[in-house]
Amino acid sequence: MSDINLLPLKASALFVGMSEAEIGSLSGLFEEKPVPAGKTVFIENMPGESLYLIREGTIRISKMLAEGDEQTLVVLAAEDTFGEMAVLDSAPRSATARVIEDARLLSIGRTPFERFCDSHPALGLKLLRNLSRILARRVREEHEDFRALLNLALGRKES
């Protein structure tokens, strides 16, 4: 693995509260790969092991519905992360990620992530806090979406 310059992505929620030196020390953890439009990064219910940070391009995160239709949950762009839960546990992927516009993705696997957190506890804690904040924000957003759908299904107006 070669060191990747992460400083252009320092505004990412993954790096909140980190100095440029701290961000730089993470550079050897990530692998970069170009992914063309139309390519699937991962599929819902498949095993997952890596978190992704978007350097450039757009990614659609979606879920399969019971009828076989695919529902877009969110479209992500540069500086956004996805697949975060894979570095925290070994559960299957909860959604599908597909590239909409040619992308350059940075990935970090669960094992290197865990080793880094063990060997750099202070910076590892910052990473884990930031992942927690990212996931908490998503849960809140999904809760609001669920509430709106429930109100719609029950014929109620939003308050």
Residue 3: pLDDT band with limits 50, 70, 90: confident
Can you point out the beta strands (E) in 7-146?
A: 31-35, 40-42, 50-64, 70-76, 81-82, 96-109
Question: Cα-atom radius of gyration of the chain, to the nearest Å?
Answer: 17
Whether residue 2 is contained in a domain is answered as no
Q: Which residue has the higher pLDDT, 75 or 64?
A: 75
- Are 83 and 51 contacting, i.e. CB atoms less than 8 angstroms apart? yes
Beta 96-109 vs 31-35: how paired, if at all? antiparallel
- Are 124 and 118 contacting, i.e. CB atoms less than 8 angstroms apart? yes
User: Which residues form the domain of 148?
Assistant: 7-153
- Are 59 and 82 contacting, i.e. CB atoms less than 8 angstroms apart? yes
Residue of 129, 132, 158 lying closest to 146 (CA atoms): 158
Amino acid, single-letter form, for residue 60: R
Residue 158: pLDDT band with limits 50, 70, 90: low
The mean of the pLDDT values for the chain is: 92
Residue 1 has pLDDT above 60, yes or no: no
Helix H or strand E encompassing 145: helix 121-153
Residue 21, CA distances (Å) to 5, 29, 72, 109, 125 in order: 11, 14, 37, 22, 16
pLDDT digits (tens, 9 = 90+) for 75-91: 999 999 999 999 999 99
Whether residue 75 is contained in a domain is answered as yes
Residue 33 has a pLDDT of 96
Q: Which residue has the higher pLDDT, 1 or 93?
A: 93
Q: Which residue has the higher pLDDT, 113 or 65?
A: 113
Residue 143 has a pLDDT of 65
Structural domains of the chain, count: 1
CA pair distance 2, 119, nearest whole angstrom:
19
Whether residue 159 is contained in a domain is answered as no
Residue 48 has pLDDT above 70, yes or no: yes
CA pair distance 150, 82, nearest whole angstrom:
26
Find the CATH number of the domain harbouring 126: 2.60.120.10
Residue 142 has a pLDDT of 75
pLDDT digits (tens, 9 = 90+) for 113-152: 999 999 999 999 999 999 999 999 988 877 676 676 677 7
- What 3-state DSSP class applies to 16? coil
